Structure 1
């Protein structure tokens, strides 16, 4: 029962690693006001536990990917889970804001669960099968953000704000045991030294395909971040909704993502990576363009807005598993580095789109600006996918040219 694993993990292990990585971001959101009150801190300072956490996880993904290429996926994941469990206890016991924020930063180690789960899958199977498995893993990325705050709110109401962090500690311990028993090493060709590994990085950096796939992911997720940044303001100004109904409507984009991810799991073995990526981008763009057109024609209502944005979730569910698999397949021996760098680009791009959406949206242009920003980001993802398609066509033509 406690023997160390020596074989590849089950898919459920990777799904749970991904889910907890996402839960760590938003499960305790209902507790933010009480954390500020209990630690006698300004709400804006407490909010660093979200914004600062995102920044830290972006940096950590860049670091953890190469570490897993050098030392293996298993030791990096186990070390990260141990740090996460200890940091969660530190947050739960904190009596001042700076101690809380210090341990909150250390909690960011759990991002390895999401970044390295992708690399583990790519280690185990070829690119198209990896896209299929990533589709099922991505369903956790849709459901966890919806269920996390609900669970955190229940813990807050019955046990106080510290309960969420004790729950994180338990999750970390359980996941550590699960990975110890189930997640054997999948990186069978680790670099001998960091020097040798760094010599191979230019292979990844010079790859036009890698940047095409990565920008496609960043812009695709950017549309989702723009939605989260602008939808509450737009709904408040245009429609009369209770907070409960608003929360339900905001969850529609995640439901679309869950369904799109499920479709990816079913279709990725039958269709090429680029085919699913293009389908996803086209679905998102058509849905948003139709929403804008309906708004122009006078159909200004919640059904039009959320009916259009659900296509973004559906399109992202089709796009992201294949784009992830594509980025990691450019240089399979650097799958961890590719996963980390593309993941950091996605988080960074999301932060930029969130900021830009806040600047663009006003009380007068609300719905149009929101759908416009989302359409711009989704279309930029489509352009990135077309860039990869162009590279494929160029290389296909060059291989068919026969020397005279």
Structure 2
């Protein structure tokens, strides 16, 4: 059954976009993708102040992040199939409206829980840009060119989570936490203006579904496709490996190696730069090297250096430069595999590109948040839990892609079958 579905979709995987469709400039797709990760990261420096201003606890204030991740997962699940049914542009603007409503909720909040609710709404709305940028690319390009474009979008978008904490920190120190949300709304206004001017409708083949019930059945259709499972889970587990690093790297730097928080910020720039480099290289050679070869190279590179990091950690000879150097090489591998994995996921059936983008993005967020939580609960006075979770994610990403490449099917969870 899985193989038959794969063969049926394969015939549609190289569909061409309608003639005369206007292609948005690359920078506009980077902007709509960057809105969500920027809004996620920009509040982080203000969180200690929220504890004092609202008289709340660190744990409750932390829900402003976990609630945002939940909103991202749910929003991606909803926006993808809705865009397949109603078009990319209406769903994108609907998401921006929800984003602005959530931002207003945050601005006028006099208690922490309304602010958390506003953060969830922000994430629900901003997730439309993350989903639809990939779907729009797949509407306009074949699979290999789509992988190249997604790599460039990701390389540009990575500036947002790098800049978010810096911008948020300065705004909070100078003007208070409300200024963070004013700035986010201003950024959202810029994104909206870019969408109005440059992002036109690209999805016209909406005959794949006739009702909302059939629309949601698209999730089951995709999950029965071995190739989709392979790509989506590869992306999810690669992200989980990186989230594991994010969840513990600051504690490793400050608590274990005794460096300052600003020192961690500079080390993290190297990781972001490595990931950006991997995406840029992937974009440059994407038309000459197949997506599957790039995924194999990237997942193998990340898995190999994660294992090397484990060996160094167990030997007791781990230093901070070695920790970040090996993690940086892993990030280059992630830059090879991630855009190609997303391109593969949205290419198995281009008529469901939005649904595929949303489902793969939701899996990415959910599995990444799971490993992030595990790291948070297990991290103590050793970097070993972080390293183990990074290795776990890398190994599972490698097996997920192998699962998708096999000629015969296998169960959703039995990745090596």
TM-score (norm 2): 0.88
Matches of 1:199 and 1:238, distance apart in 2: 48
Task: Extract unaligned runs of 5+ from structure 1.
Answer: 395-404
| Alignment equivalent of 1:137, drawn from 150, 153, 159 | 153
Cα offset, 1:390, TM superposition: 1.9
2:174 paired with 1:150: no
| Alignment equivalent of 1:179, drawn from 151, 171, 195 | 195
1:83-232 alignment, distance < 5 Å: 83-108=98-123, 109-191=125-207, 192-198=210-216, 201-232=219-250
Per-residue CA deviations over 1:308-338 (Å, capped at 9, x if unaligned) read: 1112211111001000000011111001001
SS in 2 for 1:391: coil
RMSD between aligned residues: 2.1
| Alignment equivalent of 2:272, drawn from 254, 258, 272 | 254
Q: Does the CA-based 8 Å contact 1:156-1:164 persist in structure 2? A: yes
Q: 1:329 to 1:161 in 2, by over 3 A?
A: same
Matches of 1:88 and 1:270, distance apart in 2: 43
Cα offset, 1:185, TM superposition: 0.6
Q: 1:205 to 1:82 in 2, by over 3 A?
A: same
SS in 2 for 1:251: helix
Between 1:145-154 and 1:285-294, the stretch displaced more is 285-294
Q: 1:189 to 1:50 in 2, by over 3 A?
A: same
Matches of 1:174 and 1:295, distance apart in 2: 45
| Alignment equivalent of 1:292, drawn from 310, 324, 327 | 310
Q: 1:332 to 1:246 in 2, by over 3 A?
A: same
Q: 1:240 to 1:41 in 2, by over 3 A?
A: closer
| Alignment equivalent of 2:393, drawn from 374, 377, 381 | 377
| Alignment equivalent of 2:341, drawn from 318, 323, 329 | 323
Between 1:30-39 and 1:153-162, the stretch displaced more is 30-39
SS in 1 for 2:110: coil
Q: 1:183 to 1:38 in 2, by over 3 A?
A: same
Q: 1:297 to 1:106 in 2, by over 3 A?
A: closer
Q: 1:6 to 1:123 in 2, by over 3 A?
A: closer
Matches of 1:249 and 1:62, distance apart in 2: 34
TM-score (norm 1): 0.90
Cα offset, 1:296, TM superposition: 4.4
Aligned residues: 388
